[in-house]
Amino acid sequence: MSPRTLLHRLVLTPEERRLVAALRAPDRWQPDRPITDLEAKDWAALLRSPLLLKIDLAMCNMAQQQAQLAVHLPAADTVRAAGYAAGFRGAWQLAKSLSTLAGTHAGTSETTPPTDDAGLEHLNP
């Protein structure tokens, strides 16, 4: 057992230890069995179906409605309600983007072009 692990067991609660472990593995939100390319294609096709287009519209309208309601609440409740609306929208957008995340490293679909010949060495830390 490493000194760090021992220290964590001595000073942190089990819940705090799980939180620290989750922070060390930022991609833990992904399932243990990642989405396959076939599943991603199926999900993308489903998102383009008439039913899911209606659900997409309903979900986006729900987030917009929650944001509009937040404006009319007492000041003490506005932050919570606006955060709820933003979280709701973010969760739906993540669900929609899962088809682009399949089969990529660390949950990103962006590719990194080689920059060796770009003359950007002075920008490296």
In the chain, domain spans: 34-105
> To 10 degrees, what angle do helices 75-101 and 50-71 make?
160
Give the Cα separation of 1 and 104 in Å (integer). Answer: 33
Residue 103 confidence (pLDDT): 54
Residue 43 confidence (pLDDT): 84
Residue 114 confidence (pLDDT): 54
Query: Which run of H or of E encompasses 41?
Result: helix 37-47
pTM (whole model) above 0.75: no
* Residue stretches of the chain with pLDDT short of 70: 25-32, 101-125
